């Protein structure tokens, strides 16, 4: 069964540092997403990406966040200057039909110290 692959599984970084979270979506999918889940809280939408541009972003997705699909296979989330409150599980997802056919990756646990 096709998978969405995320690396690393766990990242520890110092406050103020930049981090890049990486994702390889399913190859024939057209829609790509990032979500985050702070420990004990709900899964929250960050951004959707379609046709090589952001199609929607949440209030959480401020200027310190950016996404990129640099080479047609990887989909990355960059956090420019991490804060303690960025500590969370970050899930990448892809789909071939918008809300249908969604597949989530296993997540990257980001810990900011």
Partner 1 sequence: RKEVEQDPGPFNVPEGATVAFNCTYSNSASQSFFWYRQDCRKEPKLLMSVYSSGNEDGRFTAQLNRASQYISLLIRDSKLSDSATYLCVVNGRGSSNTGKLIFGQGTTLQVKP
Residues found near partner 1 in the complex (CB under 8 A): 31, 33, 35, 41-45, 48, 50, 55-56, 89, 91, 95, 97-100, 102, 104-107, 109
- What 3 state SS string does the chain have? CCCCEEECCEEEECCCCCEEEEEECCCCCCEEEEEEECCCCCEEEEEEEECCEEEEECCCCCCCEEEECCCCCCEEEEECCCCHHHCEEEEEEEECECCECCEECCCEEEEEC
The smaller minimum CB distance to partner 1, of residues 79 and 88, is found at 88
Q: Which is nearer to partner 1, 14 or 52 (CB)?
A: 52
Q: Least distance to partner 1 from the beta carbon of 68, Å?
A: 18
Min separation Cβ 100 and partner 1, Å: 7
């Amino acid at each position: 069964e096709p998978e969405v692959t995320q690396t690393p599984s766990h990242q520890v970084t110092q406050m103020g540092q930049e981090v890049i979270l990486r994702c390889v979506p399913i190859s024939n999918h057209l829609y790509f997403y990032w979500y985050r889940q702070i420990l004990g809280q709900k899964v929250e939408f960050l951004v959707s990406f379609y046709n090589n541009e952001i199609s929607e972003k949440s209030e959480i997705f401020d200027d310190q966040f950016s996404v990129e699909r640099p080479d047609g296979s990887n989909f990355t989330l960059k956090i420019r200057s991490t804060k303690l409150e960025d500590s969370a599980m970050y899930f990448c997802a892809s789909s071939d039909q918008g809300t249908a056919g969604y597949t989530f990756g296993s997540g990257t646990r980001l810990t900011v110290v």
